[in-house]
């Protein structure tokens, strides 16, 4: 049962992507009938149209239908990224000092000393 579903979905996918090939196959199979009955230039055999006008119309219609379907899918699947508006200008230095001053009233900036980098030196040779 799974194989049947796989083959069915695969054939649907291939048929969707090969619309022009199906139209060309239909035209090549039915070209005598198309040239005799559907051709716009059947009354003027000196043009040697042989139904090419019908083929051109069918291919143009398929292209327009594909473009319309593509635009419809793009409209359905369009993702608009959400970017929240920036409403405040943050200055990190002022925010950190205000926070430290209110959270740790005994904090002294002089109590902090830079780490010693004396042990970072190139190897002795």
Q: Could you state, in order of their start, the residue ranges of all structural domains in the chain?
A: 2-77
Enumerate residues 6+ apart whose C-beta is below 8 A from 55: 23, 24, 27, 34
pLDDT, one tens digit per residue, over 108-121 is: 555 556 666 666 66
pLDDT, one tens digit per residue, over 20-71 is: 888 889 899 999 898 888 888 888 888 888 888 999 999 999 889 888 888 8
Higher pLDDT, 113 or 6: 6
Q: Note whether 8 and 21 are within 8 A (CB).
A: no
Q: Which pLDDT score, from 0 to 100, does residue 73 have?
A: 80
């Amino acid at each position: 049962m799974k194989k049947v579903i796989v083959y069915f979905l695969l054939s649907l996918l291939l048929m969707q992507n090969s619309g022009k090939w199906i139209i060309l196959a239909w035209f090549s199979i039915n070209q005598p009938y198309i040239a005799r009955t559907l051709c716009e230039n059947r009354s003027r055999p000196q043009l040697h149209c042989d139904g090419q006008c019908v083929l051109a119309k069918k291919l143009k219609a398929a292209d327009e239908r594909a473009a319309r379907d593509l635009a419809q899918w793009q409209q359905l699947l369009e993702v608009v990224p959400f970017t929240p508006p920036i409403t405040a200008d943050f200055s990190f230095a002022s925010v950190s000092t205000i926070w430290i001053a209110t959270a740790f009233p005994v904090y002294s900036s002089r109590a902090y000393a830079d780490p010693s980098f004396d042990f970072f030196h190139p190897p002795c040779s």
